[in-house]
Amino acid sequence: MENFIVSARKYRPQTFDTVVGQKSITNTLKNAIKNNQLAQAFLFCGPRGVGKTTCARILAKTINCKNISSAIEACDHCPSCVSFNENASFNIYELDGASNNSVDDIRTLVDQVRIPPQMGRYKVYIIDEVHMLSASAFNAFLKTLEEPPPYAKFILATTEKHKILPTILSRCQIFDFKRITVDDIAGHLMHVAEKEHITAEENALHIIAQKADGAMRDALSIFDQLVSFAGNTLNYNTVLENLNVLDYEYFFKITDQILAGDIPGSLLTINDIIDKGFEGQHFLIGFGEHLRNLLVCKDASTARLLETAPSIRNHYVEQAKRCQVHFLINVLDINNRCDLSYKISNNRRLHLELSVMQMCALVLWQDGDQAPSKPVAIPPIASVAAPVPAAPASSPARAVVPEPAPAAPVNPLQAIQQTAGVTTPPSADPAAGAAVPKKPVEPVKMRDIKHDFNSTTSIRKPVPKTGTGSGMADDDQALNETATPFTPDELILCWEEFADSLKISSPHLYSTLKSSRPVLNAGWNIEFTLGNKVLEEELTMRKTEMMEFLRSRLNNFKIQLTTHIAENLKSARPYTDKEKFDQMVQKNPALNSLKDELGLEIEY
C-alpha cells in the first residue's frame, strides 16, 4: 500500500509561475534575481496558507540554480536543483522559530553562517514562525542579520508581523502576502481535480474555496477530506452536507418571503433550517453575507466584489433588481443587531424569529411610504395598507383622555376621521339620525401617522391639509406653513415622551432630557442647556429625529432647537474629612463642643 501524500504537499508550487494569488510578489522576486539586486534578508508575512514558505523555498532554489531560464525559473536539472528536489541540499537550511528560539540556537546559526557554501552561490536560511524567537535571541541575531557574509541570505516567515522587533524589521525587505481570492482557489482546485481524475462541480469547488477563508492549504485539506467521503465525484449537495454549510437556496427563499411580507412563510423557513441542525447564529452569519452580496450587486462597479460561482451570481443579480438599497441596508442592520445579541438571549429561537418578523414588517411599512397615493387607514398588526373595517354605529369610540363623566357613543368612523385630521360635516352625525355621507375619506399619508406608532396617545391631532393640489410638493408646503400654537406644558409632555424613547439606546442623553427642562422663546425657538460637550454632540446626532418628533406631535413645523453648554460648572471632587466635619458643624454647632469634650481629632 502506497503512502498517501496530501494534496497540499503533492501539488505544492515548484516555480514562481505556479504560485497562486501572489503575482506582484513573485514578479518582484524574479526581477530582483534578474537584475542581481537580491537583498540580504527578506521578511515574508501574511495569513496562514498563502504561500510564504513556498515562495521562500522557490527563491532559495532559484538563486542557487546554475541554469536559470529566461523566465527566471530554476531548471530542475542541475545538481543544486536535483539535491533541493530530493530534500538533500546542503546550502538551504529550514529552521522552526518555535523550537529554536533561544540565544544558544541563534549562536549556533551564527557559527554556521561563517562557513561558505560547498556547492552553489548562496547559503539560504529559512526561519519559519520567526515571531516565536525570544527578545534575547532577536538581539543576538541583529548583527549577523545586518552585516552577513555576501553568500548568506536570510528569509524570515511569520503570520504575526506585529510581534517582531522594529530593529529586525528595519533590516529586512518586507513582503506582505494577501489572502487568496475565492476564484483563484477554485481554479487551483479544479486543476488538482483534473490531475487526480476527479469530477467536481464548479459550485462545489466555490463552496470549498469560501470555507477556506483565503488559505490554499486549508482548501486542499478540505478537498482531500471530501474526496475521501464522496470518491471521485464531488457535487454541490455532498459538499454542503459534509461542511455543514447552509444552502444558498434558503437565503434566496427567505429573501423573497421578506420582500413579500410573508411572515408565516419566513417562520416556516426558519423552522426548516433549525430542523436540519443549523444554529440560529449560523443562519444569521450566512444571511448577512447574502444581503451583502445583494447590496454589492446593485452597482456595476461593486459587482466584482461578489465571490460566488457564475451560475449563482446570475441569481444574485436577478434578486438584487427587486430590492431597494435602503431596504437592504435596513434589513442588514436588523440582522447585524440580532447577531450581536443572539448569544446573550435567553430564548434564542424567539429572538431570531422576532428579527425575521421585523424584516417582514419593515417591507410592509416601506410599501406604505412608497405609495402615498394608496388609501391607508389606521395600520393594523398584519398589514399597514389594509383598511380598518367599519364598526357598528353603537360601539363607543376609545377616548384619548379619560373624562370624568361617561362620553356619549360616537361612530367609530367619525373617530377615525378625526384622528386622521378629516372633519365630518354636522349633518353626517349618526347620533342625530342622519346617514353617513358616501363621499370618500381623504387618504392619510404615511408621514402623518408614522410618529404615532410608539404611543397610544396623541398630544395633538394632525392639521388637515388644505388646497387643491394633490402632489407631494403641495403637502410639503402645507406642512411647512403649519405653526399651531402650543403651551410650555404640552412641550414638556412631548419632551419627556421623546426622552423615554432613548432610555435604552442612549441612557446618558435620556437622563439629561428627563432631569432638565427646555425653555420656549418667541418664534417657537426652544433653548436647552446641557452639562458638557459630549452630551451636546450626542444630542446633535439625534437632533433631526427629535425635531421631526416634536413638530409632528405639536403640529408646528416652525419649531427650532438651540443648545448651550452650562458655564461655570463646578468640578465635582471628593470632600476631605475636615471639610465634611466643617459642613456638619455649620448645620449643628454643638458637634464642635462635643469634639472638644471628648478630645477627638480629625485625621488629615
Q: What is the pLDDT of residue 457?
A: 41
- In a domain, residue 414? The reply is no
Residue 365's pLDDT band, with cuts at 50, 70 and 90, is: low
Q: CATH number for the domain including 192?
A: 1.10.8.60
Q: Looking at 34-43, 225-234, 328-337, 361-370, which range is the least confident one?
A: 361-370
Expressed as residue numbers, the domain containing 226 is 182-243
Residue 462 lies in a domain: no
Give the 3-state secondary structure of 55-90.
Answer: HHHHHHHHHCCCCCCCCCCCCCCCHHHHHHHCCCCC
Of 384, 388, 378, which is closest to residue 364 (Cα–Cα)? 384
Of 238-242, 347-351, 524-528, which one has max mean pLDDT? 347-351
Tell which wins on pLDDT, 144 or 311.
Answer: 144
Model-level pTM? 0.55
Q: Which residues pair with 565 in a beta bridge?
A: 530
The radius of gyration of the chain's CA atoms, rounded to the nearest angstrom, is 37
Q: Are residues 168 and 21 in the same domain?
A: yes
CATH number, position 282: 1.20.272.10
* Cα separation, 125 vs 121, whole angstroms: 13
Q: What is the mean pLDDT of residues 272-296?
A: 89
Amino acid 29: pLDDT: 92
Per the prediction, the chain carries an average pLDDT of: 78
Least confident of 281-295, 342-356, 384-398: 384-398
- Does residue 415 surpass a pLDDT of 50? no
Residues 206 and 230 in one domain: yes
Query: What is the pLDDT, as a whole number, of residue 492?
Result: 87
In a domain, 445, yes or no: no
Confidence of residue 268 (pLDDT cuts 50, 70, 90): very high
Question: Which of 11-20, 146-155, 361-370, 374-383 is predicted least confidently?
Answer: 374-383
98 plus 145 within the same structural domain: yes
Look at 226-235, 374-383, 555-564 and tell me which has the smallest mean pLDDT. Answer: 374-383
Please report the pLDDT score of residue 567 as a whole number: 64
* Residue 420 DSSP class: T
Mean pLDDT of 527-547: 82
**Positions of E strands within 159-292:** 173-176, 199-200, 233-234
More confident residue, 562 or 387: 562
Domain boundary among 243, 266, 285: 243
DSSP category for residue 48: T
pLDDT in tens, 556-593: 888 888 887 876 544 445 567 777 888 888 888 888 88
What pLDDT was estimated at residue 302? Answer: 80
pLDDT at 404 exceeding the cut of 50: no
Indicate the pLDDT class of residue 390, thresholds 50, 70 and 90. very low
CATH number at residue 106: 3.40.50.300
CA 321 to chain centre: 23
The full length of the chain comes to 604
- Does 179 score more than 70 pLDDT? yes
The arithmetic mean of pLDDT across residues 149-156, rounded, is: 91
Q: What pLDDT does residue 568 have?
A: 54
Range 196-220 average pLDDT: 88
**Same domain, yes or no, for 236 and 254?**
no
